[in-house]
Structure 1
Amino acid sequence: MATIAKTFDREALDTGSLDVRPMTPAIGAEIHGIDLGASNIADSIPAIRSALLKYGVIFFREQDLTQDQHIAFARHFGELEIHPATPKDQPNPEVLRIAHGPKSRGQENNWHSDVTWRECPSLGSILLAREIPPVGGDTLFANMHLAYERLSPKMQEFCQGLTAVHDIARVFAKRLGKAPEDLHDKYPPMRHPVIRTHPETGERAIYVNNGFTSHIEGLAPEESRWLLDHLYKTAWDVEIQCRFRWQPGSIAFWDNRVCQHLAVSDYFPARRVMERVTIAGDKPFFKPD
């Protein structure tokens, strides 16, 4: 586990000579004038990592990457994980292809963090647009640290002591055509703090999501449902969001430890094809004062 900063000065993060253009005061920045497939990209990795921590999600345009280049760029940030929805016979199992069209309506149109059903959910994902619809198909991102900061002090204090259960079967039992118990053999439900501490910045963020969180331990079912609904809705605040309009070759790289995202499915029946490479993370924890 990385050493947590005692104090985190977001403005002091060094993004070097990168051409960084913030999208909103709350979250997101586009980075221009860089080729992520360049042979010397390693020289820019510290600055890119600083930008990721500073803005939560960073975007790049006109990136003509092969799958091998996509994977190589992601490896600069850590070990990669393989998603269970990835076909076993494809040549690059690290690449999750997300394709929708006339026979497949997009299903990622709810606020969520990726793979929170893992013991060690992802650090972040790098999503590359291969084919986009003529209009629509944007992705929204929400800063869940700011969502936490906007809770009342009493609610913050109450949530800090709670643990939630995250279950892969809530989403992928139907999508993969498997019984929940079969998925649980390999991916049992996981317990994570409702409020997690970011392992690099020390900031706190809400860490439950509508996709994978099943319940909060120790609360009556009605209490758990009410509190989860309340926390889910914090991501809906437009003042903690940014919205990204895709172009072919665009990339979004988000910090899954502090962001939630929603892929708008307004483009049906047009086609939208994305490829995602995901960086493994560490086990979520809450660090008290």
Structure 2
Amino acid sequence: MPLTIAPITPAIGAVVGGIDLAQPLDAVTYATVEAALLEHQVLFFRGQQITQTQQRDLAALFGPLHIHPIYPHSDSVAEIMILDTDLNDLADNALWHSDVSFSETPPLGSVLVARVLPEVGGDTLWTSATAAYAALPEPLKQLIGGLTATHDLAKSFPPERFGADAQSRERLEQAKRNNPPVTHPVVRTHPVTGLKAIYVNEGFTTHIDGLPQDASDSLLGLLFRHVIRPEFSVRWRWQPGDVAIWDNRVTQHYATDDYRPHRRVMHRATMIGDRPF
């Protein structure tokens, strides 16, 4: 079957058909997928049957892979992070965030595979931070253009949820030591497309540097609310075997936490990115 790319919304998201991700991508197919990712920011592939090793190898086409400092990973494929509600409280995913923005070099993107799903619920939403930036009034663009903000792992990984026992507490403290708070521009430029994106998120951004706390909170609140407007976003209803690939540099996402007490298991491979500018 020929490869097809069907946009879901004008701002973000496309469904890619006619491809088997269990097979290595040839250079032409990879280039087509990469171009579609740059254009649509999140791609969805239905009906895929890929192993953890194949998922890792697919993600590695985009760049070197990240190992999360807190979440568990596969025993056999260390680059595969396990998001399993039987293993962890995943409430930190049920807010809008850009993955690992607490890093000096946040992820380029991720490859996410649906392994176990609840009968109903568990959708994931993505929003385009470039579409959100483009829709800002010009005076607001001017205001935030030269600002930076602090991102902190501790904001989404508090000890009351991730330090239940001595081993967990030590892992959390080690993660904090290895990942101290970092500063990134409030407006990020995509290194390939040159598009500008709002780069603050509810998950990890604690304050805008140089502003009093009340002013920082007000401006961050405005940006948090703006970036998630429905016209910038897409909602995906997962089916077993679905794969999503997204550009973490210019998107945020939200995993709905509406399916308890049912189980949800997702496997994620994350590609290391560059320093935001």
Name the TM-score, length of structure 1 as normaliser: 0.88
The 8 Å contact of residues 126 and 252 in structure 2, kept in 1 or not, is answered as yes
- Alignment correspondent of 1:73: 58
Runs of 5+ unmatched residues, structure 1: 1-16
Identity of aligned residues (%): 46
Comparing 231-240 with 201-210, greater Cα deviation is found at 231-240
Q: Deviations over 1:240-259 (max 9, x none)?
A: 11110100100111100111
Partners of 1:138 and 1:156 in 2: CA distance: 32
Over 3 Å counting, the alpha-carbon distance change for 1:271 and 1:154 in structure 2 is: same
Q: In the comparison of the two structures, how many residue pairs are matched?
A: 269
Q: 1:136 aligns with which of 115, 121, 126?
A: 121
Structure 1 residue 61 corresponds to structure 2 residue 46: yes
The 8 Å contact of residues 102 and 151 in structure 2, kept in 1 or not, is answered as yes
Q: 1:212 aligns with which of 204, 210, 216?
A: 204
Partners of 2:262 and 2:91 in 1: CA distance: 10
Runs of 5+ unmatched residues, structure 2: 164-168
Q: Deviations over 1:86-142 (max 9, x none)?
A: 447822111111011598464411111000000000000110000111011111110
Partners of 1:241 and 1:265 in 2: CA distance: 18
Q: 1:121 aligns with which of 98, 103, 106?
A: 106
CA-based RMSD of the aligned residues comes to 1.9
Q: 1:198 aligns with which of 190, 194, 206?
A: 190
Aligned residue runs from structure 1 range 96-245, under 5 A: 96-100=81-85, 104=89, 106-174=91-159, 175-177=161-163, 178=169, 182-245=174-237
- Structure 1's consecutive aligned runs of 4 or more residues displaced over 6 angstroms after TM superposition are none
- Alignment correspondent of 2:70: 85
Partners of 2:14 and 2:271 in 1: CA distance: 20
Q: Deviations over 1:116-173 (max 9, x none)?
A: 0000000001100001110111111101111111111011011011000000111124
Letter in 2 for 1:93: A
Aligned to 2:37, the other structure's residue is in SS state helix
Aligned to 1:136, the other structure's residue is in SS state coil
The 8 Å contact of residues 117 and 167 in structure 1, kept in 2 or not, is answered as yes
Name the TM-score, length of structure 2 as normaliser: 0.92
Over 3 Å counting, the alpha-carbon distance change for 1:41 and 1:60 in structure 2 is: farther
Partners of 2:132 and 2:151 in 1: CA distance: 20
Over 3 Å counting, the alpha-carbon distance change for 1:222 and 1:114 in structure 2 is: same
